[in-house]
Amino acid sequence: MSGPALRIRGLRKAFPKVLAVDGVDLEVARGEVFGLLGPNGAGKTTTLEIIEGLTTADMGDIELLGLTWKDHGQEIRSRIGVQLQSTSLFNKITPREALDLYGSYYPKRRSTAELLALVQLEEKADAYHITLSGGQQQRLALALALVNDPELVFLDEPTTGLDPQARRSLWDVVQQIKAEGRTVMLTTHYMDEAEALCDRLAIMDHGKVIATGTPASLIADLAIPSVVELTFGGPAPDPAAFAARLGQSVERRADLWEIPTPDPKALLPRLLESAEVEVVPFQQVHIRRATLEDVFLHRTGRSLRE
């Protein structure tokens, strides 16, 4: 039980029209929650599917739990748990039946009752899959990924399309999985999710890993711990004149200006003064600490949500 849970070297995958994965190296330690963060189309899902054995890479080496797909396919499948981006089940199967059925495919399995309790689906255990809400279906998909008591769990965008409350309850389950000592690798395009769940992150864009580290270290590396935001009632005006007077770069977003700064306390008086001179019709001032969103913006010049 030594060595990393996952080691990837020089992974490449090209589709007819796009180079989806372009030389990815990753290492995930046992027991950690590792996140792949990036916008849609960054190559997160393709990377994950190659690791899960669903897609074959054009190049690169993968070792899961010290095993390779070529020599130990069946053993890997029985020791990993997978939640796909969308898990499609039969419309008229119940959670209890689905867990029993998928459990029967594995040599080692957790009890259905225990899994139902873990994802809080006891009350819906005998309802048809089609009648479950989006959050319940997603929790069932998560339970299915745990049916074989896996050492390594892959979750592909586990909370996409869920309402805030359903996301929270899913996060709880992921934290529980980590507490049980499993290794988790997940993809997400929500930075708050990455910050809340992940011990370490790889930020992906255009098929490449552009930064790796803990959420805190990634933000600290920015050397701009804080961001001052000026919000406007409507679309934000051109900040050029204001930026010149302030002597500081100003990013214009849809309805606000962002001014990254290492020292908000020193900036604020100058900022208010400049705003008054230039007659900037802002409504409110916020000071917030930098987030992973700013890390992505800084590294790529684009927003995660674009």
Binding site for other proteins (CB under 8 A): 52-55, 74, 77-78, 80, 82, 84, 86-90, 92-93, 97, 101-102, 104-107, 128, 144
Q: How far is the CB of 45 from other proteins (least distance, A)?
A: 12
Q: How far is the CB of 196 from other proteins (least distance, A)?
A: 26
Nearer to other proteins (CB atom), residue 10 or residue 161: 161
- Residue 232 has a CB neighbour count (10 Å cut-off) of 16
Nearer to other proteins (CB atom), residue 14 or residue 196: 14
Q: How far is the CB of 49 from other proteins (least distance, A)?
A: 9
Nearer to other proteins (CB atom), residue 49 or residue 293: 49
Nearer to other proteins (CB atom), residue 58 or residue 192: 58
Nearer to other proteins (CB atom), residue 89 or residue 198: 89
> Whose structure tokens read 């684009």?
302
What is the gyration radius of the CA atoms in the chain, in angstroms?
A: 23
Q: How far is the CB of 18 from other proteins (least distance, A)?
A: 18
Nearer to other proteins (CB atom), residue 144 or residue 275: 144
- Residue 215 has a CB neighbour count (10 Å cut-off) of 21
Q: Which residues contact 130 (CB under 8 A, 6 or more apart)?
A: 91, 92
Pairing of strands 284-289, 256-261: unpaired
**For residue 159, which phi and psi values (nearest 5 degrees)?**
-115, 10
The structure tokens listed for 231 are 């919000």
> Whose structure tokens read 């790889």?
202
Nearer to other proteins (CB atom), residue 83 or residue 291: 83
Give Cα 36 distance to the centre of its chain.
5
What is the distance between the alpha carbons of residues 69 and 8, in angstroms, rounded to a whole number? 12
Spell 18-48 as b/e; 16+ CB within 10 A means b.
Answer: eebbbebebbbebebbbbbbbbeebbbbbbb
Assess contact for 290 and 219: CB atoms under 8 A: yes
Q: How far is the CB of 147 from other proteins (least distance, A)?
A: 9
Q: How far is the CB of 138 from other proteins (least distance, A)?
A: 14
Q: How far is the CB of 139 from other proteins (least distance, A)?
A: 15
Nearer to other proteins (CB atom), residue 145 or residue 224: 145
Q: How far is the CB of 114 from other proteins (least distance, A)?
A: 19
Please report which helix (H) or strand (E) contains residue 286, including its range. Answer: strand 284-289
Give Cα 239 distance to the centre of its chain.
33
